[in-house]
């Protein structure tokens, strides 16, 4: 990083706080690939000198970049540029194992548990079944390049798909298996909610307690609008980025 380039981006007359300007300055260097993933950034003392600001201002900027998953700290070593976030398009029906290889990532999954249990009220409501109906509940850790990415619970009616208990979930693609059982999946609904990761999830995803995460819930439907699969999971906030393509209604477009 060249000091001259950085100083030019700080405007002391601007109403935007200095720490935020520094944050955006460093983000710009990362976006422009002047700072690359895994590269160490200057120390707090060096950044104070570069920007001619107090250590508290620099620390505030760095803390915000760490919270956003753009930087990460290593105790006793310093602060480094994090890996780029994994992007997922929400335009079409997508699958974890179908989309990740297209981006050059190696997906994987580990089955943590699989049981048959009575459906809770919320699970039953999502799957349009009676409360207490037997469901297959599988807890799965999904990985990207051997790094924990998503902790997921999936639920399927045991009566609808009993053979799921007999397959190797770690190697079989769930939607392909369900299709082969004569149940044609054709759409899903999905919701997202920002959360702070709890102690249990932090251990599995290997992130600090209180780190940002994204709670994801998906219901997958068969033809006839029959709910078949319920996914509930937590994605690491420092590693994910979702995007969607939007269009204006035809009657709003001027001719």
What's the mean pLDDT when you consider all of the chain?
88
Average pLDDT over residues 119-123: 96
| 218-236 pLDDT tens trace | 999 999 999 999 999 999 9
d(CA 139, CA 114): 6
The 8 Å CB, 24+ separation contacts for 158-161 are 158/116, 158/133, 158/134, 159/133, 159/134, 160/228, 161/136, 161/228
The mean per-residue pLDDT over the stretch 170-199 comes to 93
Q: What percent of the chain has pLDDT over 70?
A: 92
Q: Which domains does the chain have, with CATH numbers?
A: 3-81 (1.10.10.10), 86-243 (3.40.1410.10)
Higher-confidence residue: 7 or 253? 253
Is the pLDDT at 104 greater than 90? The verdict is no
- Map tokens 């770690």 to a residue: 170
Report the DSSP pairing between strands 134-144 and 212-222: unpaired
Residue 226: both structure tokens together: 């029959």
The mean pLDDT of 9-19, rounded to a whole number, is: 81
pLDDT of the residue at 191 = 92
d(CA 12, CA 128): 58
**Would you call 29 exposed, middle or buried from its count of C-beta atoms within 10 A (0-12, 13-18, 19+)?**
buried
Express each pLDDT in 43-71 by its tens digit: 999 999 889 899 999 999 999 998 888 89
Query: CA 120, 110, 94 angle in degrees (round to 5)?
Result: 75
**Overall average pLDDT of the 154-174 stretch:** 94
167 has which bridge partners? Answer: none
- Return the SS3 of 123: helix
Q: What is the mean pLDDT of residues 14-42?
A: 89
């Amino acid at each position: 990083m060249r000091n001259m380039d950085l100083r030019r981006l700080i405007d002391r007359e601007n109403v935007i706080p200095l720490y935020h300007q520094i944050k955006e300055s460093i983000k710009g260097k990362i976006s422009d690939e002047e700072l690359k993933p895994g590269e160490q950034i200057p120390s707090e003392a060096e950044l104070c000198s570069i920007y001619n600001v107090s250590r508290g201002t620099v620390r505030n900027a760095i803390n915000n970049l760490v919270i956003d998953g753009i930087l990460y700290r290593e105790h006793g070593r310093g602060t480094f540029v994090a890996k780029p976030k994994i992007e997922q398009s929400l335009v079409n029906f997508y699958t974890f194992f179908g989309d990740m290889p297209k981006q050059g990532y190696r997906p994987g999954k580990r089955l943590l548990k699989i049981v048959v249990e009575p459906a809770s009220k919320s699970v039953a409501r999502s799957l349009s079944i009676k409360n207490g109906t037997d469901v297959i509940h599988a807890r799965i850790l999904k990985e990207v390049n051997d790094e924990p990415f998503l902790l997921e619970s999936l639920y399927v009616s045991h009566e609808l798909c009993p053979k799921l208990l007999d397959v190797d979930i770690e190697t079989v693609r769930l939607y392909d298996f369900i299709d082969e059982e004569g149940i044609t999946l054709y759409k899903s609904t999905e919701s997202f909610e920002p959360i702070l990761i709890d102690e249990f999830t932090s251990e599995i995803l290997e992130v600090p307690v209180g780190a940002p995460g994204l709670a994801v819930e998906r219901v997958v439907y068969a033809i006839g609008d029959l709910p078949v699969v319920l996914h509930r999971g937590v994605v690491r906030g420092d590693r994910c980025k979702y995007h969607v393509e939007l269009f204006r209604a035809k009657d709003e477009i001027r001719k």
